[in-house]
Structure 1
Amino acid sequence: MASDNATRLAVLIDADNSAPTIAEGLLAEVAKYGTAHVKRAYGDWTSTNLKGWKEHLLAQSIQPIQQFGYTTGKNATDSAMIIDAMDLLYTGKLDGFVIVSSDSDFTRLASRIRESGLTVYGFGQRKTPKPFVAACDKFIYTENLAEVTEETPAPKRRSVEANQLKGDSKLMNLLRNAVDAASDDSGWARLDTVGSIITKQRPDFDSRSYGFGKLGELFAATTLFDMDPRSPGDGKPPITHVRDIRNRP
Structure 2
Amino acid sequence: MEKTEYKIALLIDSENVSPKYIKSVMNEIAKYGRIVIARFYGDINNLSKDWHRTAQDHAIKPVHQYNVAIGKNAADMAMALDAQEMMYQEKVNAFFLVTSDSDFTPLAVKLREGGMHVVGIGSLKTTTQAFKSACNEFRYFEYLNDDEDEEEVVPKNVEADKAEIDRTIKGIIIENGVDNRIQLSRLGDILVNRFSDFDPRKYGHKSLSSLASTIQGVMLNQEKTTTYVSLKPSMQKEEIMNEIVEIIQTNKSKEMMLTKIKQELEKRHPSFNYAELGFTRFSKLVSSIPHVLVSKNAAKLK
TM normalised by structure 1 equals 0.85
When residues 106 and 158 of structure 1 are mapped into structure 2, their CA distance, relative to the original with a 3 A threshold, is closer
Report the AA paired with residue 205 of structure 1. Answer: F
Alignment partners' CA distance in 2, 1:177 and 1:157? 30
Q: How many residues align?
A: 232
The residue that corresponds to 1:51 in the other structure is 49
Alignment partners' CA distance in 2, 1:141 and 1:174? 21
When residues 102 and 246 of structure 1 are mapped into structure 2, their CA distance, relative to the original with a 3 A threshold, is farther
The residue that corresponds to 2:35 in the other structure is 36
Rg: which structure is higher? 2
Gaps of 5+ in 1: 232-237
CA offsets, 1:140-197, max 9 Å, x none? 1111111xx2147xxx97989xxx657744322321222223311x211111100000
When residues 239 and 71 of structure 1 are mapped into structure 2, their CA distance, relative to the original with a 3 A threshold, is same
Is 2:200 aligned against 1:211?
Answer: no
Using the aligned pairs only, state the percent identity: 30
CA offsets, 1:203-240, max 9 Å, x none? 10000111110001111122331111222xxxxxx321
Alignment partners' CA distance in 2, 1:97 and 1:42? 15
Bigger CA drift: 33-42 or 90-99?
90-99
Alpha carbons 1:182, 1:190 under 8 Å: kept? no
CA offsets, 1:20-52, max 9 Å, x none? 0111111111111111100000011111x4332
Alpha carbons 2:96, 2:121 under 8 Å: kept? yes
- SS, match of residue 221 in structure 1: coil
The residue that corresponds to 1:177 in the other structure is 171
Alpha carbons 1:158, 1:211 under 8 Å: kept? no
- SS, match of residue 23 in structure 2: helix
The residue that corresponds to 1:129 in the other structure is 128
TM normalised by structure 2 equals 0.71
Report the AA paired with residue 197 of structure 1. Answer: I
Alpha carbons 2:102, 2:127 under 8 Å: kept? yes
- SS, match of residue 190 in structure 2: helix
CA RMSD of aligned residues (A): 2.5
Bigger CA drift: 131-140 or 220-229?
220-229
Alpha carbons 1:111, 1:136 under 8 Å: kept? yes
The residue that corresponds to 2:248 in the other structure is none
- Of structures 1 and 2, the one with the larger relative CO (CA 8 A, separation 6+) is 1
The residue that corresponds to 2:99 in the other structure is 101
Alpha carbons 1:15, 1:50 under 8 Å: kept? no
The residue that corresponds to 2:180 in the other structure is 187
The residue that corresponds to 2:144 in the other structure is 145
Alignment partners' CA distance in 1, 2:231 and 2:189? 17
Distance apart, 1:137 and its partner CA: 0.6
When residues 135 and 80 of structure 1 are mapped into structure 2, their CA distance, relative to the original with a 3 A threshold, is same
When residues 119 and 247 of structure 1 are mapped into structure 2, their CA distance, relative to the original with a 3 A threshold, is farther
Is 2:227 aligned against 1:240?
Answer: yes
The residue that corresponds to 1:62 in the other structure is 60
Report the AA paired with residue 118 of structure 2. Answer: V
- SS, match of residue 41 in structure 2: strand
Alignment partners' CA distance in 2, 1:39 and 1:194? 31
Alignment partners' CA distance in 1, 2:45 and 2:133? 34
Alpha carbons 1:13, 1:42 under 8 Å: kept? yes
